[in-house]
Amino acid sequence: MSASTKPSIQLTPTITVQGKQICFKDTKQTLLECLESNNVKVDYHCRDGFCGACRVTLAAGEISYPKGEPLAFVGENEILPCCCVPVTDINIKID
């Protein structure tokens, strides 16, 4: 018998940004695509983790990079929405 003991990833994490609360429902989307579809403007260029143009601050919560760690430099508490997804409720700040 095999028991499923996956880590407790929330199915629909909530993104708090600019006073909005957005449900991350479509797991095929990146965080950037989810923000765009909810009319939250984020600067971007490569959309693939190389340039760092989309960098935002993660104030709370956890994200993951499904395709592996991006190449662009990110500082402490910074994330790249173009290639990450939230795994818990998150709070982000866009400069």
Residues that bind ligand FES (CB under 6 A): 44-47, 49-54, 72, 80, 82
CB of 58 to ligand FES, least distance (A): 14
Q: Which lies closer to ligand FES via its Cβ, residue 6 or residue 41?
A: 41
CB 91 within 8 A of CB 55: no
Beta bridge partners of 21: 16
State the minimum distance, in angstroms, from the CB of residue 42 to ligand FES. Answer: 9
Instruction: CB nearer to ligand FES: give 60 or 71.
Output: 71
Q: How far is the CB of 4 from ligand FES (least distance, A)?
A: 33
